[in-house]
Chains A and B, each alone.
Chain A
């Protein structure tokens, strides 16, 4: 087990290195530097000086190694080109917590609501509730975040006037309801869909019949035999939806004017702010690999037949 964990943790390194190399190469192969975006064009001398300051005049392999070294030893992603007074680390520290709060809440909400909905639906197959759940899941699964978010604003903020149209005052205020809901709908629908399928399959297994036959209480059958076994594929799906929630924040934060890393990232891409793009990409890649590992561990915990080694 410990061995497995160490090996999986070590495997994260080549993956992150791959992401780093890919982003580095693509960014540096893209013509147009960070200095051609300003309103006033800079003089050649000024550009040269800036390139020198940020070491952009050095050979590519040196930049590659230098930057990597800075990230590894000092957790330093360099200064933001667009906003030179701030380092990327500071920017991430400032903007990421908001996105993290929204994303984590949305994910928890999606798991709770989605799995409940899917399970209830599977236990009442072919009732109106089941039909509703199937319909909801395909609709929720089909609508992209950038369609859901404006629709929610129009209905709940403009027509009913219950919620603000945008902005951010913290997680426990009215302003958080729309961003969290908008982000949660896609994963909720997907989880409902998968847990319905999964529970339906498990309920037809022999061991469930045996459990009922030996006179186990229905509640015990449900929790001990059906849900635990049905959860296994659901954990994988939940893990798969994590990147979706993270990139969904690009749209939700832009539409609802939430000051998170998603909105900042979108602006940085447009301004070719390399270090910010790099920092965000590595951060998200790290989170995704780490959560995939966590999902696999939970997987092994839920199903002792899967030996982690």
Chain B
């Protein structure tokens, strides 16, 4: 990469591509190198891959469908037929866990996707242009700060659970989708509605500081249109913390879904959810601790894997943040 400094700046500002691309790629390659050297992150990644495989192939691996219930075989201890035992309805725990992984992983990934898609543009606009968007955003953040997440999500969820099945008109497909997915749509909407603010705030801060960087000023001086500056210069550079936040947000979303289902405000039964399994198992903990143990371990391992990966990603993308 022997480019003279002037050519480099020019290349970046005008966006001719070659010099910028080169620098771009090497940053990501460096980060990747650092990531795969991190044992925790690699272990986490492997676990996540396994859990995802289990979720995708739940139909094939599971001993039976999660709906199958056999009241004559309720509360059975682990056996050859039911490797992890059965619950109070005689449903096979292993099958519930596998199908529950589907719910958890879907919630984690889709909810984060919605949050990033909503939060990043709004945060970028608020940070770059300021004005009333920024004002409203920051006042909303103030209110959110005074409000425990879970409490807000529970209240939003009560609203959605009451409204979503009955909506008509242009929103009708949402209701159908919600029914097919066993109430997952509601969880996505509730998490998306409440958590995009955090990402928007993060991006806003990033953009505010990036706005003052020389290369953005150079682009402005050269008359590059604003949308192009945001798209080509600001967002790519603000991306690293967003990736980290999104990765660390996945376990948060999984945890929130499990918590909501524990309270009875998450997915609708009989859709299996790890949180619901813990809640059901907690009633019979004294006699049948394995009912609680297996979903608890499943949630624990999933959360740990994502957090290890997220930490690894943060160290890899921003080495100056190490040990934070």
Q: Whole-angstrom distance from the CB of A131 to the nearest CB of chain B?
A: 12
Contacts A32-B162, A154-B293 given; 19 further ones with Cβ under 8 A?
A18-B146, A23-B155, A26-B156, A26-B158, A30-B159, A141-B307, A142-B251, A142-B300, A143-B299, A147-B278, A243-B147, A247-B150, A254-B262, A269-B155, A269-B265, A280-B151, A281-B147, A284-B151, A288-B145
Among the stretches B203-211, B233-241, B284-292, the one at the interface with A is B284-292
Q: What residues on B are CB-neighbors of A151 within 8 Å?
A: 293, 296
Q: What residues on B are CB-neighbors of A251 within 8 Å?
A: 259, 262
Interface residues of A, count at CB 8 A: 50
Distance between Cα atoms of A308 and B296 in the complex (Å): 45
Which of B146, B299, B323 contacts A289 (CB under 8 A)? B146
Beta-carbon nearest neighbor of B156 in chain A: A26
Given known A-B contacts A29-B159, A139-B304, A142-B251, A255 and B282 have beta carbons under 8 A apart:
yes
The dominant DSSP class at the B interface is helix
| In contact, B323 and A142 (Cβ under 8 angstroms) | no
Given known A-B contacts A26-B156, A150-B296, A251-B262, A15 and B162 have beta carbons under 8 A apart:
no
A96 at the interface (CB under 8 A from B): no
Interface residues of B, count at CB 8 A: 48
| In contact, A281 and B155 (Cβ under 8 angstroms) | yes
Query: Using a CB-CB cutoff of 8 Å, which residues 207-260 of chain A contact chain B?
Result: 243-244, 246-247, 250-251, 254-255
A285 at the interface (CB under 8 A from B): yes
Query: Using a CB-CB cutoff of 8 Å, which residues 127-165 of chain A contact chain B?
Result: 138-139, 141-144, 146-147, 150-151, 153-154, 158, 165
Query: Using a CB-CB cutoff of 8 Å, which residues 255-291 of chain B contact chain A?
Result: 255, 258-259, 262-265, 275, 278-279, 281-282, 285-286, 289
| In contact, A142 and B162 (Cβ under 8 angstroms) | no
B23 at the interface (CB under 8 A from A): no
Beta-carbon nearest neighbor of A280 in chain B: B151
Beta-carbon nearest neighbor of A285 in chain B: B146
| In contact, A29 and B163 (Cβ under 8 angstroms) | yes
Distance between Cα atoms of A281 and B296 in the complex (Å): 28
Which of B151, B285, B299 contacts A281 (CB under 8 A)? B151
